[in-house]
């Protein structure tokens, strides 16, 4: 079943039932090497799922859950291999959307859920996005309205000597550092041989139409004769007539931009355009995650 979370819509199944979890991979066309996040509804559920919880991880769970933070820790035996793609670690988060929490409570089991989109495409931030792409393949979509955050959770691993940021996301790094200390988090951890987080694959979250990120004014010249869509951060004032313009936040607010990002990309991707020029946003707060998604969406298939 697809369900709303505060970040993006998820496609959930009983995390302790390997057959149910296998359906998720089938429906999303997701490679089995890509592990899923387990969603829980109560703090004490973590204890059954992981071997131990370091102090900093514990403090973050206490302060940031329910919320857009996923924590990776060494897993216990009860978690099926299909959930973690055979890794010895598991990713866990407690979402804060009331419908998600209710669903997990009623299910009385941890819920494994990736974003409810075909593998590699932009995550859904409204029930209609899920219906458009997976509607004929899934049993039910819980409609909880548009997502409040709009970007996937921040993923932090506590499996090495230092916490590692595996994916910037809906919880800004600044907030994490205000709890566990500045400079504590390793920001660009070296890539492992196996992609432990395909959200880190160079090309991910990608639309059909090529995206070019940067100062759009500079990129304009190269695409003059093409059908161009503009994905602007703030209000634009230009004589150039784009085929379509999406403004993420007229007043330049990163939170508002995050909420609108994926829906705007979807609208542009549905048009007959040849290229999408995306305006860079400041890399602070949620801007870090927005730029991460824009860069990954802009990689060419073979890059
Ligand atoms: O906000 C979110 O996190 C949403 C909502 C539905 O909760 N979920 C989401 O799931 O974005 P997904 O599957 O699209 O992205 C989860 C990422 C994947 O890139 C996966 O590789 C990584 O989490 N991941 C899962 N388990 C992991 C593990 N044990 N170690 C490292 N990365 C892991
Ligand atoms: Mg995803």
Is the pLDDT confidence value at 189 over 80? Answer: no
Q: Using CA positions, which residue lies closest to atom 15 of ligand 1?
A: 114
Q: Which atom of ligand 1 is nearest to the CA of 152?
A: 1
List pLDDT tens digits, range 250-261. 999 999 999 999
Q: What is the pLDDT of residue 303?
A: 46
At residue 302 the predicted structure's pLDDT band, cuts being 50, 70 and 90, is low
Q: What is residue 25's predicted lDDT score, i.e. its pLDDT?
A: 97
The pLDDT of residue 219 = 86
Q: In angstroms, what is the span from residue 199 Cα to ligand 1's centroid?
A: 7
Query: Which residues are CB-neighbours of 5 under 8 A, at least 6 positions away?
Result: 39, 95, 96, 97, 100, 113, 147
Residue 130: pLDDT above 80? yes
- Ligand 1: which atom is nearest the Cα of residue 75? 29
Query: What single DSSP character describes residue 75?
Result: B
What is the number of the ligand closest to the CA of 120?
2
Two structure tokens written together for 208: 């059909």
Chain-wide mean pLDDT for the chain? Answer: 94
Give me the domains of the chain, ranges plus CATH numbers: 2-180 (3.90.870.10), 211-298 (3.40.50.11030)
In this prediction, residue 188 has a pLDDT band, given cuts at 50, 70 and 90, of: confident
pLDDT at position 193, please?
46
Q: How far is the CA of 9 from the centre of ligand 1 (A)?
A: 13
List the residue whose alpha carbon is closest to atom 6 of ligand 1. Answer: 10
- As given in the structure block, the two tokens for residue 301 are 């298939």
Q: pTM for this structure?
A: 0.93
Burial class (CB in 10 A: 0-12, 13-18, 19+), 22: middle
CA-nearest residue for atom 33, ligand 1, is 197
Q: Report DSSP letters for 3-54, one per residue.
A: E--SSS-EE-EETT-HHHHHHHHHHHT--TTS--EEE-SSGGGHHHHBS---
pLDDT higher than threshold 90 for residue 204: no
Ligand 1 neighbours, Cβ below 6 Å, are 5, 7-8, 10, 34-37, 70, 72, 84, 87, 89-91, 93, 95, 113-115, 152-153, 155, 166, 196-199
Over 60: is that where the pLDDT of 235 sits? yes
CA 246–ligand 1 middle distance (angstroms): 28
The number of beta carbons lying within 10 Å of the beta carbon of residue 172 is: 21
**Residue 41 and residue 110: Cα distance in Å, rounded?**
8
Question: What integer pLDDT is reported at residue 263 of this predicted model?
Answer: 98
Q: What is the reported pLDDT for 201?
A: 66
Mean pLDDT (whole number) for 45-66: 97
8-22 pLDDT per residue, tens: 999 999 999 999 999
């Amino acid at each position: 079943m697809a369900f709303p979370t505060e970040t993006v819509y998820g496609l959930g199944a009983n995390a302790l039932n390997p057959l149910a979890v296998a359906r998720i991979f089938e429906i999303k066309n997701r490679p089995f090497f890509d592990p899923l996040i387990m969603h829980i509804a109560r703090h004490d559920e973590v204890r059954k799922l992981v071997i131990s919880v370091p102090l900093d991880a514990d403090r973050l769970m206490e302060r940031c859950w329910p919320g857009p933070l996923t924590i990776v820790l060494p897993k216990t035996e009860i978690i099926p291999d299909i959930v973690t793609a055979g890794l010895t670690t598991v990713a866990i988060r407690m979402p804060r959307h009331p419908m998600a929490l209710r669903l997990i409570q009623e299910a009385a089991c941890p819920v494994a859920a990736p974003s409810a989109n075909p593998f590699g495409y932009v995550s859904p931030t409204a029930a209609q996005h899920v219906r458009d792409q997976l509607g004929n393949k899934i049993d039910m979509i819980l409609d909880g309205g548009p997502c409040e955050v709009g970007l996937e959770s921040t993923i932090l691993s506590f499996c090495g000597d230092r916490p590692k940021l595996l994916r910037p996301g809906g919880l800004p790094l600044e907030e994490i550092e205000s709890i566990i200390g500045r400079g504590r988090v390793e920001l660009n951890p070296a890539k492992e041989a196996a992609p432990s987080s395909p959200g880190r694959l160079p090309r991910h979250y990608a639309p059909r139409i090529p995206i070019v990120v940067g100062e759009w004014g500079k990129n304009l010249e190269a695409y003059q004769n093409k059908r161009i869509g503009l994905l602007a951060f703030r209000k634009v004032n230009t004589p150039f007539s784009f085929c379509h313009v999406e403004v993420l936040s007229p007043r330049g607010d990163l939170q508002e931009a995050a909420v609108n990002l994926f829906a705007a990309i979807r609208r542009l991707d549905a048009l007959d355009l040849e290229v999408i020029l995306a305006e860079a946003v400041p890399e602070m707060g949620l801007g870090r995650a927005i730029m991460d998604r824009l860069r990954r969406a802009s990689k060419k298939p073979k890059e």
